[in-house]
Amino acid sequence: MTAENLIALAKEAMQKAYAPYSGYKVGAALLCADGTVYQGCNIENAAFGPTNCAERTAIFKAVYDGHRDFTAIAVCGGKDGVITGSFPPCGVCRQVMREFCEDDFIIYMIDADVGYKTCTLADLLPYSFSPKNIG
Ligand code: THU
């Protein structure tokens, strides 16, 4: 699975977004260590708080299916599904990544149709609180 393939799957997932309130459609594609890919989209809620981000949708789907070992995630988003710049994972999603992923977990932030930034979980969540802190 190349970065480009994972990115294409995140863009595909974005089309499934349920975002009637913000209009921002977000897609994610999560690569498991065994090569399986899980796609996720944001799922909004009239009460706002229960909204689930695309990254967490993908991670929770994977964990439910028994996967806990992840290599990379590609993320994209934009108003009405139009990508105009990168859509970095929110703090809650970064913490959920921390639960299952090591420092070298890769995040591809899709900038536009042809570009993306590559960073690691250590870049996005330094000095983090992890399962290692509680034993
Ligand atoms: N959103 C995500 O899906 N992932 C993030 O990491 C940031 C925010 C969604 C939540 C909401 O539906 C919309 O983007 C606007 O905040």
Helices (H) and strands (E) in the chain, counts: 4, 5
Answer whether 95 contacts ligand 1 (Cβ < 6 A).
Answer: no
* Ligand 1 atom showing the smallest separation from residue 44 Cα: 12
Please give the distance, rounded to the nearest whole angstrom, from the Cα atom of residue 135 to the centre of ligand 1. 31
Whether the pLDDT of residue 112 is over 90: the answer is no
Mean pLDDT to the nearest integer, 118-134: 97
Mean pLDDT to the nearest integer, 65-69: 98
Mean pLDDT to the nearest integer, 64-80: 98
Look up the CATH superfamily of 3-133: Cytidine Deaminase, domain 2 (3.40.140.10)
Whether the pLDDT of residue 135 is over 90: the answer is no
pTM of the model: 0.97
The structural domains of the chain, with segments of one domain joined by +, span 3-133
What is the number of other CB atoms lying within 10 angstroms of the CB of residue 15?
A: 10
Please give the distance, rounded to the nearest whole angstrom, from the Cα atom of residue 9 to the centre of ligand 1. 17
State how far the Cα of 27 lies from the Cα of 103, in Å rounded to an integer: 22
Token code pair at residue 40? 């996720």
Measured by CA distance, the residue closest to atom 6 of ligand 1 is: 89
Please give the distance, rounded to the nearest whole angstrom, from the Cα atom of residue 66 to the centre of ligand 1. 25
Residues 6+ apart with CB under 8 A from 87: 24, 26, 75, 76, 77, 78, 109, 110
* Ligand 1 atom showing the smallest separation from residue 22 Cα: 15
Catalytic annotation, residues: 55
